[in-house]
Amino acid sequence: MKIAVIGATGMVGEQILKILEERKLNVTELIPVASAKNVGKHITWNGKTRTIQSLEQALSKKPDIAIFSAGGAISKEWAPKFAQVDTTVIDNSSAWRMDETKKLIVPEINASILSKEDKIIANPNCSTIQMVLALSSLQKKYGLKRLVISTYQSVSGTGVKAVHQLENERQGIQGEMVYPYPIDKNCLPHGGDFLEDGYTTEEQKLVEETRKIFNDNNIEITATVVRVPVEGGHSESVNAELHKHFSIDNIKKEIAQTPGVILQDNPESNIYPMPLFAKNKDDVFVGRIRRDFSQDNTLNLWIVADNLRKGAATNAVQIAAYLIENKLI
């Protein structure tokens, strides 16, 4: 089993390598790939030294699986080339997510739709993954009618330079600015690029990807994305209107039984999800579950996850594991 990791030296790439090692996939050859400036350098993986290779070198080796985390432009150009040599690509960028011919996968929800013919598989956006997983059992039992989403997204979702900006500001160091304003002691209602309708690309992803994963274009969704001065871990406040009546006790039971989700909901003891404690975890944490008394069949939830792990790397590795286990490669 040859697995290539494209973008192996990036924040998500490093997590992919870590999780591949943790989960003990039967990898006979690991092919770490990075930009030209890093080709020839060495990393340690699974106790052995590995040499970073170029995309061309990796392509010539025809890996069984290539996990891409190097940005949309690289994915658009290179994913089809790997697919042509019968490599199954799992892409972590936005390049293929809304392509009608490509499947958008959260394994706990819809891995069963995958087949051997799927040579480019899209990994959803980090904020989408944690939300749909938390809501998946409710979608099955009650049906989702409308979602109002407010996110509190960490700077690691922007990348390592954004983490450095936050660190510099906290130390009083003048450094490179990734955001148009300081992020320390601040909140930026700005995730991605602004669109003509006033929404951002990050907000649009929450709408479109959620509908595609749940295979339901009738879910009404609106979102506001906010970047907050947290190094890692995304949080979301979600107001969910369901099609059917519910009791809060049954809602909590459904969520607690969802694979990959942990219920943390005991406000009397100050138990609720927080990014500080979600760090380096693969689960999605849900709490602050309560009825919205202003509208029928509606509730509020607070959803937290490590955006670099379940929001990106873990989900990609889970897809790879599913493909291997079900002999789809």
Q: Which amino acids are annotated catalytic?
A: 126, 234
The region, left, alpha or beta by phi > 0 then psi within -120 to 50, assigned to residue 327 is left
d(CA 190, CA 145): 26
Pairing of strands 2-6, 65-68: parallel
DSSP for 188-206, please give it: B---SPBPTTS-BHHHHHH
CB atoms under 10 Å from CB of 11, counted, come to 20
Q: Are residues 298 and 239 in contact, defined by beta-carbon separation less than 8 angstroms?
A: yes
- Rounded to 5 degrees, φ, ψ at 289 are -80, 125
Pairing of strands 234-242, 298-305: antiparallel
Name the one residue in this structure whose structure tokens are 């509908």: 211
Pairing of strands 48-51, 144-153: unpaired
DSSP state of 181: S
Q: Is 315 exposed, middle or buried (0-12, 13-18, 19+ CB in 10 A)?
A: buried
The region, left, alpha or beta by phi > 0 then psi within -120 to 50, assigned to residue 71 is left
* Neighbouring C-alpha atoms within 13 Å toward the C-beta of 290: 10
d(CA 144, CA 3): 37
